[in-house]
Amino acid sequence: MFKHLLVPLDGSHLAEAALPTAAYLAKALGAAVTLLHIVEHNAPQEVHHDRHLTDAASARAYLADVAAREFPPELTVESHVHEVEVTNVAQSLVEHCQELITPDLIVMCTHGPTGVREWIFGHLGDQVIALGQTPVLLVHPQSQASPVKIQRIFVPLDGSPAHEHALPVAEELARACSAGLHLGMVIQTLGTLSGEKAATGRLLPGAMTAVLELAEENAEAYLQPHLARLRSAGLSVTAEVARGDPADTIVRSARKRKMDLIVLGTHGKVGTEAFWAGSVAPRVADHTTLPLVLVPIPD
């Protein structure tokens, strides 16, 4: 599945925070790597309080240095500079993914504590995930350890077939990294319901409590076939059903169980700010420093 990783870089040290994880996965997966820089029209001299690549020649020299510095010689690492200046870097990256580079995984840094939503969900990742094809691995600058090692992978599920698109991705990463899998489902409590369900819970708390308790039982039954299948395939896997707010509980469980990576299926539609605001994926990204693989769910 993962034979080609794409790493967009802008020349800043912050963007380079994704490189150790990219090198680790490329070696584990036996995957080739393409380092990409897209020359931006009227590019600023600095980005994230660091230098910014503003011309093709500087970008080629920079990417060559990164390839030699950050990746072992046995890996296949190529560089690509989109020399024609563009005003929409995000759209240009989307076009490269579709037409030229065809990566299996995009590995990039989340740009600071508020940049997750602004850079990933509000602009670039919004469009990439909307393609419904390419998983995106977001690496938080604070998550970097030396050396990088992935031993435990957390896969949140919600009981729907759509979110099971994350499972094949997690399985391949687990095999490549010799990592264990942990499947999790979150059933809300009366206090964490929203919208119509919250209103129903206030009017009929006993009935809604019974509904949530039944949902918890169904969640445990739902996980059992997945556990059996994964174990029969030779993978180490555990599972849990927790109660609470989905995003908060995912983050808390991942921290408590010392997970190294979260793999999460997610929908994405360009410009749907209301959808993203209520989605679990951006809320998880906002509140965890763990690397996060977002797997687009086809419509």
Cα–Cα distance between 173 and 79 in angstroms, integer?
A: 24
Q: Are residues 161 and 292 in the same domain?
A: yes
Which residue did the predictor score with more confidence, 205 or 261? 261
- Of the candidates 241, 239, 260, the one whose C-alpha atom is nearest the C-alpha of residue 249 is 241
By residue range, what is the domain housing residue 62? 4-109
Q: Are residues 198 and 268 in the same domain?
A: yes
Q: How confident is the model at residue 160 (pLDDT cuts 50, 70, 90)?
A: confident
Q: The CATH number of the domain where 36 resides is what?
A: 3.40.50.620
Asked if the model's pLDDT at residue 6 lies above 70, the reply is: yes
| Range 51-71 average pLDDT | 85
Q: Are residues 163 and 267 in the same domain?
A: yes
List residues bridging with 238 in a β-sheet.
182
Cα–Cα distance between 56 and 17 in angstroms, integer?
A: 22
Average pLDDT, the chain: 80
Is residue 118 situated within a structural domain?
no
Q: Are residues 185 and 285 in the same domain?
A: yes
3-state class (DSSP) for residue 299? coil
Do 187 and 216 meet the contact criterion of CB atoms below 8 Å apart? yes
| Range 103-118 average pLDDT | 64
Do 40 and 89 meet the contact criterion of CB atoms below 8 Å apart? yes
Q: Are residues 167 and 270 in the same domain?
A: yes
Q: Are residues 177 and 269 in the same domain?
A: yes
Asked if the model's pLDDT at residue 275 lies above 70, the reply is: no
Which residue did the predictor score with more confidence, 133 or 128? 133
pLDDT value for 234: 95
Lowest mean pLDDT among 16-20, 43-47, 210-214, 229-233: 43-47
Task: Convert 92-106 to b/e letters by CB count within 10 Å (16 or more is b).
Answer: bbbbbbeeebebbbb
Do 266 and 297 meet the contact criterion of CB atoms below 8 Å apart? yes
Cα–Cα distance between 227 and 88 in angstroms, integer?
A: 44
Q: Are residues 158 and 271 in the same domain?
A: yes
What is the identity of the amino acid at 108? Answer: M
Q: Which strand (E) or helix (H) includes residue 7?
A: strand 4-8
Q: How many CB atoms lie within 10 A of CB 115?
A: 17
Which residue did the predictor score with more confidence, 111 or 77? 77
∠ CA(295), CA(16), CA(284), 5° rounding?
A: 35
List residues bridging with 155 in a β-sheet.
183
Is residue 141 situated within a structural domain?
no
Q: Are residues 179 and 288 in the same domain?
A: yes
Number of C-alpha atoms within 13 angstroms, CB side, residue 144?
20
**Cα 107 from chain centre:** 8
Do 136 and 291 meet the contact criterion of CB atoms below 8 Å apart? no
Q: The CATH number of the domain where 166 resides is what?
A: 3.40.50.12370
Q: Are residues 284 and 166 in the same domain?
A: yes
